[in-house]
Structure 1
Amino acid sequence: MATVSILIPAYKPQYLVRAIISAQHQTFTDIEILVGDDTPDGNLEGIVKGVSDARLHYFHHGFQKGTRNILALWERAKGKYIKFLFDDDILLPTSVETLVAGLRANPDSLLAFHERVFVDADDKVTSAPPRLLADGQIARIERGFLVQNMVGGMNNFIGEPSNVMLDRERFDPARLFEYRSQRLDYLGDVATYLNASEQAPIVAVGGYFSAFRRHAEQASNQFSPHISAGLYEWELIARSEAAAGHLSGAALEVVKRQLAQLYTHWAVPLPEIARFAANLDELVESNPLELLDSVQFQADLAHARKALTTRIAARRKAASASPAQKFCAVCETPVEGWIPHPEANSSRDFMQQMGAVGSTLENHLCPHCNCNDRERHLWLYLDRAQILKGIAQKRILHIAPEAGIERRVRALAPLEYVAGDLSPQKPDHRAINVERIDYPDGYFDLIVCNHVLEHVDRPDTALAEFTRCLAPGGHLVAQTPYSPLLKHTFELNVFPSKPFATRYFGQGDHVRLFGSDLLSRIRAAGLNGDLYPHTTVLGDIDPNAWGCNEREPFFLFAKGPAPAFLN
């Protein structure tokens, strides 16, 4: 019987072999490796059985639910210790050896963990959390410390289950991902750590011995249907610990401030979060011992869980729906239909005669996140062209950032993200005039300027600035309305009136309608690329189903050779 069972609950194929190989090459060799294939049709069997190792065992579960997959693997495990490894993470060679030593040196403890780094799709280290301990140093962490610093600080410093080892013989698997008899949809790992620490201190081992992968393919999960649970479950746990007498006073003030920031950010795309935000004063004004039993909080919790269940069901339905099913690429939510622009039925005879390409007013706003068709099209283009690949090493300038796109890009943790606007309205946005960008030459790897150039006084100057600020090989995305029928850009020597701009430029604050000379103007600035048609980049995308304008091309340019992946 093996000493350690490494459990790999698997659903995604992209990095599974790397995970398995990292388990195979542990310096502690008395292991078994159990892979649970949670795909409905056993799609991972060939990948697993392609790896030759007598210690490797494949099981097809097909639950399509991660917690059930983990519990099924736990039941099959024979080792004294359980080591988790998720299907896109990596263990460094001494991970298992280090954790076994930590638990053997502290036989009363049920759980040990080490630290981890973050890596990209190519296994390159992109960042690392602040060190908890020096290499090789071991510390025992009491439950009170976890409550004050993990729950009170809303900071899961232990990290993901891939960093953790549990004593299988002494830990009840019924307490995995469960908190005080309450089911959790997102913070199950935090619950497990709190549960394990109730019996004995948990063991922390200093050193980065695993890698948590962040990669472009995860972009579709950054707005997963479970994300709201990752917000309100912090409040649920904090209220529970307060009711048990473990959090009060200043600690609850900190929780309130941090929740207020999170809830403000997510209240629009996730309406159920707004209800929690409205009740936050209760955390500091009510008796801490009564916080969990609050009638208002329990009602908000029931409402949020119902919304979560509905969202998950809708996502699953959309995944199996016909191509006609409408789906928002920005918030990744199925929709019944798009909200038309108020001027969708107004007279736009000049723009129509000019064949102007811009927004589609009929399929304008998403009813869930309020993003417009231009934003949805932009995100689809960025995703398909793999512009965000290797984002952890990229500096990005995003001019007049759209809220939904900004949230998605920030969630991918770029090396640097600068949100710039002429008159910024948010504290984390910078004042930037695109005609005079206050950054050094070659600073940015990607500049996104979506439907901005039609507002700029001197677009050629702005394009020259973009070229100057781009690093060699960097990319510019510069969507803007234009007319392929106009030989030259149409603009005035004076600032146009709003009625004139609306009729001839498409919107009251536009100062021009670009013509077919736009391409030569961008290339004259020193950039190479093209206006790539929708059918070239997204030929398999039904524009009506995804709410975008198939006539709008992808304005993609590079400081260097033209983007090869679209040629």
Structure 2
Amino acid sequence: MLTTKQKADLGILFKIPNSIRLAYLRHKFAGDKVLCPCCKSTFREFAPFSIWKKPNSWCVRCESLERHRALWMYLEDKTDIYRKPVKLLHVAPEDMLFKRFAQEANIDYYPADILPYLYQKGTKYLDLLDPDIPDNTFDVILCNHVFAYIHDDKKAIRNVYKMLKPGGWGILQVALDPTKAETHEDLTITDPKERERVFGLNDHVRLYGLDYKDTLEAAGFEVRVDDYTAEFTDDEIFKYGFWKGDPFYVVTKKL
């Protein structure tokens, strides 16, 4: 656990250039108790993430978070994405996954976002609400922690379904409260602080509940909720820095 002084040090560090901050934190968290599967770095623990101050969360080498590391391992362990030719759409492409997908010879990689300049060079423009979005184009679609930013999320989900080839699959993660049966959405909440309190981030417009699966099925998907972290011991959960009980929403489009 971090001492009060260490927490204060981290607060100061978030005000200095990222490269210097990361170099300091690599020294600060040096050790071999945790392992980042994305960059293979080891530390005594992962750093707390700045927004929520969650412990054992942030890799200070590749900047992966819990969900990125779990997805990295899930794709290797549970899918054939690296073993056969696939055309992959990656919405809001996370840096560490972008680098991996871009170098895989079997992957025809299409990273895209509505704000492509915020991502790695080569990211294309894509608006998930575009009425002219292409049909039956991709074998695999990864779209993680995107829908909570979009007012008409159901249209965006339908367009993801539209772009997926028959027989194709995807992983569509969202910020979700597993203690809530229903998604909480209130577009009248415009104050950033209130949005952060209610939805977790000030630019989110909803917090999903367990009815997210129903929303995906209503768009046409077959949905499998795979609690991948349940396969790991508590020691392994700590070692890889996962969220325990954060299942993957794996969707397929019928042939």
Normalising by structure 1, report the TM-score: 0.38
Aligned counterparts of 2:70 and 2:148: Cα–Cα separation in 1: 18
CA change 1:502–1:525 in 2 (3 A) is: same
Contact in 1 for aligned 2:82/2:107 (Cα 8 Å): no
CA change 1:402–1:535 in 2 (3 A) is: closer
Aligned counterparts of 2:207 and 2:107: Cα–Cα separation in 1: 35
2:225 paired with 1:531: yes
Map of 1:555 onto structure 2: 249
CA change 1:403–1:412 in 2 (3 A) is: same
| Secondary structure, aligned partner of 2:250 | strand
Per-residue CA deviation, residues 112-139 of structure 1 (Å, 9 max, x unaligned), is xxxxxxxxxxxxxxxxxxxxxxxxxxxx
Q: 5 Å matches for 1:491-530?
A: 491-494=185-188, 496-530=190-224
Aligned counterparts of 1:447 and 1:438: Cα–Cα separation in 2: 18
Structure 1 regions of 5+ residues with no counterpart? 1-267, 273-313, 319-324, 346-360, 562-567
Q: 5 Å matches for 1:327-476?
A: 327-344=35-52, 361-391=54-84, 393-425=85-117, 426-436=120-130, 439-476=133-170
Contact in 2 for aligned 1:432/1:438 (Cα 8 Å): no
Aligned counterparts of 1:511 and 1:492: Cα–Cα separation in 2: 7
Aligned counterparts of 2:131 and 2:71: Cα–Cα separation in 1: 23
2:34 paired with 1:326: yes
By how many angstroms is 1:504 displaced?
0.8
Q: Which of structures 1 and 2 has the bigger CA Rg?
A: 1
Contact in 1 for aligned 2:101/2:107 (Cα 8 Å): no
Q: 5 Å matches for 1:31-50?
A: none
Map of 1:196 onto structure 2: none
CA change 1:404–1:500 in 2 (3 A) is: same
Contact in 1 for aligned 2:148/2:207 (Cα 8 Å): yes
Per-residue CA deviation, residues 76-117 of structure 1 (Å, 9 max, x unaligned), is xxxxxxxxxxxxxxxxxxxxxxxxxxxxxxxxxxxxxxxxxx
CA change 1:531–1:374 in 2 (3 A) is: same
By how many angstroms is 1:493 displaced?
3.1
Q: 5 Å matches for 1:114-125?
A: none
Q: Specify the code of the residue in structure 2 equivalent to 1:404.
A: M
Higher RCO, 1 vs 2 (CA within 8 Å, ≥6 residues apart) = 2
By how many angstroms is 1:535 displaced?
4.1
Per-residue CA deviation, residues 296-333 of structure 1 (Å, 9 max, x unaligned), is xxxxxxxxxxxxxxxxxx9xx97xxxxxx310011111
CA change 1:387–1:439 in 2 (3 A) is: farther
Aligned counterparts of 1:461 and 1:386: Cα–Cα separation in 2: 27
Aligned counterparts of 1:511 and 1:520: Cα–Cα separation in 2: 19
Aligned counterparts of 1:443 and 1:342: Cα–Cα separation in 2: 37
Aligned counterparts of 1:532 and 1:493: Cα–Cα separation in 2: 30
Normalising by structure 2, report the TM-score: 0.80
Q: Specify the code of the residue in structure 2 equivalent to 1:369.
A: C
Aligned counterparts of 2:107 and 2:243: Cα–Cα separation in 1: 32
By how many angstroms is 1:341 displaced?
1.9
Q: Specify the code of the residue in structure 2 equivalent to 1:366.
A: C
By how many angstroms is 1:501 displaced?
1.3
Contact in 1 for aligned 2:229/2:242 (Cα 8 Å): no
Q: 5 Å matches for 1:273-284?
A: none
| Secondary structure, aligned partner of 2:116 | coil
Contact in 1 for aligned 2:90/2:111 (Cα 8 Å): yes
CA change 1:534–1:437 in 2 (3 A) is: farther
Map of 1:295 onto structure 2: none
Map of 1:480 onto structure 2: 174
CA change 1:372–1:417 in 2 (3 A) is: same
Q: Specify the code of the residue in structure 1 equivalent to 2:65.
A: N
| Secondary structure, aligned partner of 1:520 | helix
Q: How many residues align?
A: 226
Map of 1:96 onto structure 2: none
Aligned counterparts of 2:195 and 2:106: Cα–Cα separation in 1: 37
Contact in 1 for aligned 2:166/2:254 (Cα 8 Å): yes
Contact in 2 for aligned 1:505/1:512 (Cα 8 Å): yes
| Secondary structure, aligned partner of 1:476 | strand
Contact in 1 for aligned 2:82/2:104 (Cα 8 Å): no
How well do the aligned residues superpose, as a CA RMSD in angstroms?
A: 2.5
Q: 5 Å matches for 1:6-85?
A: none
By how many angstroms is 1:467 displaced?
0.9
CA change 1:545–1:456 in 2 (3 A) is: same
Q: Specify the code of the residue in structure 2 equivalent to 1:388.
A: I
Structure 2 regions of 5+ residues with no counterpart? 1-18, 24-29
